[in-house]
Amino acid sequence: MLRESHFFEDSFENLLRRAQEAVADLRYEDALTQVLHALKLAEDAGDDLQQSRAHAKHSRILSRLSLYAEAVSAAYSALRFAGNDPAQGADALGALGTANQTLTPPEGHFKHYDEMLAKARQAGDASLEASAVRGMCIANLMSHQKHFHEGRDKNDPAMLSHASEALRLALEALRISRDTGDERSAYLGQHLQVGALIASGDLAAARGVSEQMLVTSSATVWVAESGSDRAIALKHLGDLDMLDGRLDDAESRMTQALAICESHRDVRKAADCFTVLSDISERKGDYKAALEWQRRSFDAFMQFASASARAHASATAVREGAERARAFAALQQERADRLEHSNQELALEAKRHASAALQDALTGIANRRCLDTELAALMNDRRGRGRCSLALLDIDHFKWVNDTFLHTTGDKVLRRIGAVLRECSREKDVVARFGGEEFAVIFVDIDPLEVAGACDRIRRAIADVAWSEVQPDLTVTVSLGFAHFDEAGGDVDELVKVADGRLFQAKRAGRNRAVGP
């Protein structure tokens, strides 16, 4: 028995190692194949922590491919299987943070990375601690960039605060990595340090760090082998040259960075270089060259999107193997073919993958698409769905609110209820706007006997809101209906139907109550 256990562990570790090697070589299809084989081994062995590790790795590869919705789903799976293990919980939260960076506003990332940092410190894992600090740094830089695009002055207190905090966190991540001798992570810390210095307006210091990164990339084996980090250093220097108005120097740096990206077949980074070179040509007045660079950027991005779809289609076949999975893989392959043969289809598909949000624009919580994805993933998890429940809630007399106080007040009510639901839920739960004045909460990993109490706490919390501050004479209550996943026999539509029926019972019984099994 001991030999079999070691065989499984070695096989699992080898598969994850080969997946990481494939990612480093930009062989994403191979990486997905390896990590999904590892996941199958972990499932066959019933090892939750191994499953969490495989799901987290799967999520990170999907994020690399800009398949963010799928990456979020894989990260939530990693979080579920992590259980109470702090190190694996931190690893899963890190994968979720990476997947969410494009899909959700930066303000929502701070709590997320705070939890990751706490788990990493609890586990005593310096590498995960540095990763969490880097995530917090990125969230601050994204907030700074958001304010910049909103047209705020560079001396705006919020922008200055985010820039200062980003620099502090970058230096902290750098210190942790160097204390543990992790030079690779230290290089990532320097990368963020440059971004924070630029945000702070200290271009001279940013140039100094970038030049140091360039020297390191020439002398260090692990950087020279991939070439990616040397390209990053050159791109930093090119960006700084542009800020200083040294367009010829910037063009030279970007051309060198592009050559490295192309030699390593890094199409995504090459597309970024094409875009910057287009900007440089436009600023120099060479509009013909600018258009040519822009065309090459578009072609590179389309090539990347097509390769992403093909890799995901191939990996799906490895994961499932049944006829249903082969049909899904064929659908993914058909999508890849459309990407290759139609520029219009390519642009629409790439835009969908790059910017399709899982967030409701009004309330800031998950939208119906995200809810459906999570419901399907949880329902397919036969081992875990016995501890999952769905609650649907509807605002009582919401039409009267809109008719009496106008739709602006109705929108405020919807936003406030979204905020209350976030406050009343746990990190692992899924809170979503179901549609109109209806909301949904998926309770994950909860004793079915505790769901009624959780729903009643939500009901009371909404009723206790100081609604008169929103609108004088306004009161708001909600009715809830909830159902356990096991009641639906594996059918998501049946689960929603049962919960909706109980919501109707709550309305019929006088509203402002929760009805369950």
- Helix H, strand E, coil C: the string for 385-433 is HHHCEEEEEEECCHHHHHHHHHHHHHHHHHHHHHHHHHHHCCCCCEEEE
Phi and psi for 152 in degrees, rounded to 5?
-70, 155
Q: What pLDDT was estimated at residue 420?
A: 95
Strand extents, DSSP E, 243-318: none
Interatomic CA distance for residues 323 and 59, integer angstroms: 24
Consecutive H or E run containing 440 = strand 438-443
Calculate Rg over the CA atoms of the chain. Answer: 25
Residue written as tokens 């004088």?
472
Assign domain 1-101 to a CATH class. mainly alpha
Assign domain 368-515 to a CATH class. alpha beta
CA geometry: angle at 267 spanning 189 and 373, to 5°?
80
Q: What pLDDT was estimated at residue 339?
A: 55
Residue written as tokens 């598969």?
15
Q: What pLDDT was estimated at residue 252?
A: 92
Q: What pLDDT was estimated at residue 350?
A: 45
Q: Three-class SS of residue 180?
A: coil
Contact predicate 96/76, CB 8 Å: yes
* DSSP assigned state of 364: S
What residue type is 114 in one-letter code?
A: D
In this prediction the pTM is 0.55
Residues 6+ apart with CB under 8 A from 276: 235, 238, 239, 242, 250, 254
Q: What pLDDT was estimated at residue 221?
A: 44
Which parts of the chain register pLDDT below 70?
1-10, 103, 218-227, 305-357
For residue 244 the two structure tokens come to: 């200083």
Give domain limits for the chain: 1-101, 105-201, 368-515
Residues 6+ apart with CB under 8 A from 356: 68, 69
Q: Which residues pair with residue 394 across a beta bridge?
A: 438, 479
Phi and psi for 482 in degrees, rounded to 5?
-135, 155
Q: What pLDDT was estimated at residue 262?
A: 83
